[in-house]
Chains A and B, each alone.
Chain A
């Protein structure tokens, strides 16, 4: 088991390295560079050239990448080319915010989705199953900004229970943050619940019709024991996979929420960085996102093995 974890960690690092290389190459290939993006309508051949020389962009690509890599390995993520701010200092509070929001939403969504999914599977066809399905399906049918606007309209503009702006600052207390960030967290919860709930339901349903479950019931085992000890571990794999995918989404996919609620997270930082082709910013965000995926997928794979011992010795 330990060897497995070590292998996965090593492979994860290799993947991360490949991510940074790939993103670097992608940004180079994309038309335009930071000089043309920042100068915009004000760009002329001379100003473009001056900008590029000042940032060292006239050096070959591999030199610049290696320089970035050596610095990154020592913990120096460089300086943004657009506004000369330290990338590490800028991204750290934003990363904390992103994780806070993702954690907030996940803490609500994951338990509810899985529990409701199991209940829906057990009560297949009954009203609780139908209602849970229709409500969550309705929620994922609409884009994130839509749910966000409706929640803002109802809870901020009309009722005034929560603020419409969720900007958080370093000096805010924990419970104040919980209050201010409630609406985006609620939006995200509604968005991810359906996927996890339906996958839980489908997976449990598939297992429930297996002969050994029927056998367990016939043996007289209590329902709770059958579901928790016999059915769930086998249904777990796809559930874990979907939960991992949704957790990853909560970290990397919520730019629209950040924009609508003015929440300073990593998503907006990356989008602005890509728009201005600011390489150090893009690379740092790629590291964060790549790291999130690698970490979550690794944990998911390890959990899957724990749950199904046969996977420890495949073949």
Chain B
């Protein structure tokens, strides 16, 4: 006889974390004899925000740090520092779980028609950890360190569209862009843009508006945070203490979670995560289909790759399903050669998903008139499993009669020496929260990061028009066409979009998939609590 009452309790807990759908929950509930209305009420109650309990020390073990890490926002590049920054600082714009921008320190905003002029309202009554009250000058300074001639911040590029920015009042900022952009608030949510007091430079001793204060920092080893006690957002900042350990090795990270030495880990290994499913002391949070886009990109200006048929052969010759099955154990969705994922509202649902077709690949290769070997540069430095993916690609291409030579490059200096230089190489892209950002950064003629070197004026025009288009239907049409152009003509073979896999002790609550990054958008320290 099944223990339905226990299952129901587990289901209630899951519902609180949005881990089970209303329908599934109701089915289970009604099996225990509850009526439809009682089951529905139970679900709504469980789903409504559980009041977070305060207290406890959250121990996190994360990959993505180094002995050279710094708390200077202009240097953030990987998960450990991003998560650390969001414990002591706040950002201006946050994102909800579906990926829509919501107000954080910039409470609200409005755009004048044309989306060139914007007004942002600064949230009132917020204090930094040194007692200073937040005002517009702090916001201006925090953005300013990433702009300007001599900044070394990687965020300089995305902020280049700001023509003018100034404070109208201590609580209002006006921004004038160089051209219209309906998605501008998304830009201000970039992880580099955290808010510090006006004129602040003492990065080793951070002063922020965030939930915690920094107690100690050993780069590449550990960060310790203490609750500052008066965080402005209700329902957050629930732990007394947070310890963030840098655990680069996936087996060590998983063992630490399993043996209870840490309560939360990121980047579980897709190939072994199923082995942990049976363990009730753990909960695995899977963010489906919005993770990293793994691609092999060819530069369309390199000899051989200017030939469109060759590029098509490359796209038909990769066995996406096999790679997703073998390398990611199913924890990924196929990419369709443009880097948007299906959860983006403008994802082209009309285009069929390209699948492995060795005959088409062979046909296009023959039609291209080229012969000989194609060399693909890959490395563990691109992403951990890039070499595995390349080897499977080699296999599937050989079945189409094309010789793909896999060159394993040094992990050291991969992004300096191989990416943007070699004619055909591995690259991954993180999720951008607007189609505009994706198309501009990855495929725009003016972008330094256009790794396929595919610069088409007609495409740029489409993107510019869509940026200010307010008619949703028309905008969708424009973005649909963009995706068709990229998939048909571009140099990108985007074959998989992986899931994020976080592991938590089952005592940790407030863990939900987030459309942007893992670990609840790197904010688990701020958003989570112990049961």
> Does A associate with B in a complex?
yes
Listed in ascending order, the chain A residues whose CB lies under 8 Å from chain B are 30-32, 35-48, 50-51, 53-54, 80, 82-85, 90, 145, 149, 152-153, 156-157, 160, 163-165, 167, 169, 259-262, 264, 268-269, 272-276, 278, 281
A40 touching B203, Cβ below 8 Å: no
B416 touching A36, Cβ below 8 Å: yes
Residue of A nearest to B71 (CB): A83
Residue of B nearest to A158 (CB): B259
| Interface membership of chain B positions 229-264, coded 1 if the CB is closer than 8 angstroms to chain A and 0 otherwise | 000000000000000011111011001101101100
Given the complex of chains A and B, what is the CA–CA distance between A48 and B246 in angstroms? 27
B449 touching A41, Cβ below 8 Å: yes
Contacts A37-B416, A85-B219, A261-B252 given; indicate if A163 touches B261 (C-beta within 8 A). yes
B153 touching A273, Cβ below 8 Å: no
Given the complex of chains A and B, what is the CA–CA distance between A37 and B415 in angstroms? 8
Given the complex of chains A and B, what is the CA–CA distance between A149 and B151 in angstroms? 44
Return the contact of A157 from the options B68, B203, B246, B258 (Cβ within 8 A): B258
Q: Could you list 14 further interchain pairs (A-B, Cβ under 8 angstroms) beyond the known A164-B252, A262-B249?
A: A38-B75, A39-B152, A40-B77, A41-B77, A42-B77, A46-B156, A47-B154, A50-B150, A90-B67, A152-B251, A167-B221, A262-B246, A264-B220, A272-B220
Across the A-B interface, the 10 shortest Cβ-Cβ residue pairs: A42-B154, A83-B70, A82-B68, A272-B67, A51-B152, A32-B416, A50-B152, A164-B255, A32-B413, A272-B66
B118-156 at interface with A (beta carbon < 8 Å):
149-156
Task: Let me know if B44 is at the binding interface, CB within 8 A.
Answer: no
Given the complex of chains A and B, what is the CA–CA distance between A54 and B153 in angstroms? 12
Closest beta carbon of chain B to A315's beta carbon, Å? 47
23 contacts between A and B (CB under 8 A): A30-B413, A31-B413, A36-B413, A36-B415, A41-B154, A47-B153, A50-B152, A82-B75, A83-B68, A83-B69, A83-B219, A84-B72, A84-B204, A85-B204, A156-B255, A164-B252, A169-B222, A259-B248, A260-B252, A262-B247, A262-B249, A268-B67, A276-B66
Closest beta carbon of chain A to B254's beta carbon, Å? 9
Residue of A nearest to B428 (CB): A41
Enumerate chain B residues within 8 angstroms of A261, measured Cβ to Cβ.
252
B221 touching A53, Cβ below 8 Å: no
Task: Let me know if B412 is at the binding interface, CB within 8 A.
Answer: yes
Task: Let me know if B218 is at the binding interface, CB within 8 A.
Answer: yes
A259 touching B249, Cβ below 8 Å: yes
Contacts A163-B259, A275-B412 given; indicate if A44 touches B417 (C-beta within 8 A). no
A167 touching B152, Cβ below 8 Å: no
Enumerate chain A residues within 8 angstroms of B68, measured Cβ to Cβ.
38, 80, 82-83, 272-273, 275-276, 278, 281
Return the contact of A149 from the options B157, B204, B247, B251 (Cβ within 8 A): B251
Contacts A42-B77, A46-B156, A47-B156 given; indicate if A275 touches B66 (C-beta within 8 A). yes
Given the complex of chains A and B, what is the CA–CA distance between A145 and B69 in angstroms? 25
Enumerate chain A residues within 8 angstroms of B10, measured Cβ to Cβ.
none
A167 touching B222, Cβ below 8 Å: yes
Enumerate chain B residues within 8 angstroms of A84, measured Cβ to Cβ.
70, 72, 203-204
Enumerate chain B residues within 8 angstroms of A157, measured Cβ to Cβ.
255, 258-259
Enumerate chain A residues within 8 angstroms of B413, measured Cβ to Cβ.
30-32, 36-37
Enumerate chain B residues within 8 angstroms of A37, measured Cβ to Cβ.
413, 416
A167 touching B245, Cβ below 8 Å: yes
B151 touching A274, Cβ below 8 Å: no
B48-96 at interface with A (beta carbon < 8 Å):
61, 66-70, 72, 75, 77
Enumerate chain A residues within 8 angstroms of B153, measured Cβ to Cβ.
42, 47
Given the complex of chains A and B, what is the CA–CA distance between A37 and B154 in angstroms? 12
Closest beta carbon of chain A to B259's beta carbon, Å? 5
Given the complex of chains A and B, what is the CA–CA distance between A266 and B204 in angstroms? 22
Closest beta carbon of chain A to B304's beta carbon, Å? 25
Given the complex of chains A and B, what is the CA–CA distance between A167 and B245 in angstroms? 9
Enumerate chain B residues within 8 angstroms of A40, measured Cβ to Cβ.
77, 154, 415
Task: Let me know if B325 is at the binding interface, CB within 8 A.
Answer: no
Task: Let me know if B110 is at the binding interface, CB within 8 A.
Answer: no
Task: Let me know if B448 is at the binding interface, CB within 8 A.
Answer: yes
Closest beta carbon of chain A to B498's beta carbon, Å? 18
Closest beta carbon of chain A to B301's beta carbon, Å? 19
Closest beta carbon of chain B to A3's beta carbon, Å? 42
Enumerate chain B residues within 8 angstroms of A46, measured Cβ to Cβ.
149, 156
Enumerate chain B residues within 8 angstroms of A273, measured Cβ to Cβ.
67-68
Given the complex of chains A and B, what is the CA–CA distance between A213 and B75 in angstroms? 67
Residue of A nearest to B247 (CB): A262
Enumerate chain A residues within 8 angstroms of B252, measured Cβ to Cβ.
152, 164-165, 259-262
A264 touching B150, Cβ below 8 Å: no
Residue of A nearest to B427 (CB): A41
B221 touching A39, Cβ below 8 Å: no
B344-365 at interface with A (beta carbon < 8 Å):
none
Enumerate chain A residues within 8 angstroms of B75, measured Cβ to Cβ.
38, 82-83
Contacts A31-B417, A273-B67 given; indicate if A165 touches B154 (C-beta within 8 A). no
Given the complex of chains A and B, what is the CA–CA distance between A109 and B521 in angstroms? 46
Enumerate chain A residues within 8 angstroms of B221, measured Cβ to Cβ.
167, 262, 264
Given the complex of chains A and B, what is the CA–CA distance between A261 and B69 in angstroms? 19
Closest beta carbon of chain B to A43's beta carbon, Å? 7
Given the complex of chains A and B, what is the CA–CA distance between A160 and B260 in angstroms? 10
Residue of B nearest to A270 (CB): B67
B220 touching A53, Cβ below 8 Å: no
Residue of A nearest to B224 (CB): A169
Enumerate chain B residues within 8 angstroms of A264, measured Cβ to Cβ.
218, 220-221
Residue of A nearest to B451 (CB): A41
Enumerate chain A residues within 8 angstroms of B203, measured Cβ to Cβ.
84
Enumerate chain A residues within 8 angstroms of B412, measured Cβ to Cβ.
274-275
Given the complex of chains A and B, what is the CA–CA distance between A21 and B47 in angstroms? 64
Enumerate chain B residues within 8 angstroms of A152, measured Cβ to Cβ.
251-252, 255
Closest beta carbon of chain A to B22's beta carbon, Å? 37
Enumerate chain B residues within 8 angstroms of A82, measured Cβ to Cβ.
68-70, 75
Enumerate chain A residues within 8 angstroms of B61, measured Cβ to Cβ.
165
Enumerate chain B residues within 8 angstroms of A156, measured Cβ to Cβ.
255, 259
Enumerate chain A residues within 8 angstroms of B67, measured Cβ to Cβ.
90, 268-269, 272-273, 281
Residue of B nearest to A277 (CB): B413
Given the complex of chains A and B, what is the CA–CA distance between A266 and B195 in angstroms? 34
B448 touching A160, Cβ below 8 Å: no
Return the contact of A50 from the options B151, B157, B218 (Cβ within 8 A): B151
Closest beta carbon of chain B to A75's beta carbon, Å? 22
Given the complex of chains A and B, what is the CA–CA distance between A37 and B416 in angstroms? 7
Enumerate chain B residues within 8 angstroms of A259, measured Cβ to Cβ.
248-249, 252
Contacts A47-B153, A275-B412 given; indicate if A165 touches B261 (C-beta within 8 A). yes
Residue of B nearest to A41 (CB): B415
Return the contact of B416 from the options A31, A47, A167, A169 (Cβ within 8 A): A31
Enumerate chain B residues within 8 angstroms of A36, measured Cβ to Cβ.
413, 415-416
B66 touching A53, Cβ below 8 Å: no
Enumerate chain B residues within 8 angstroms of A153, measured Cβ to Cβ.
255
Given the complex of chains A and B, what is the CA–CA distance between A45 and B248 in angstroms? 30
Enumerate chain B residues within 8 angstroms of A48, measured Cβ to Cβ.
152
Residue of A nearest to B262 (CB): A165
Given the complex of chains A and B, what is the CA–CA distance between A42 and B72 in angstroms? 15
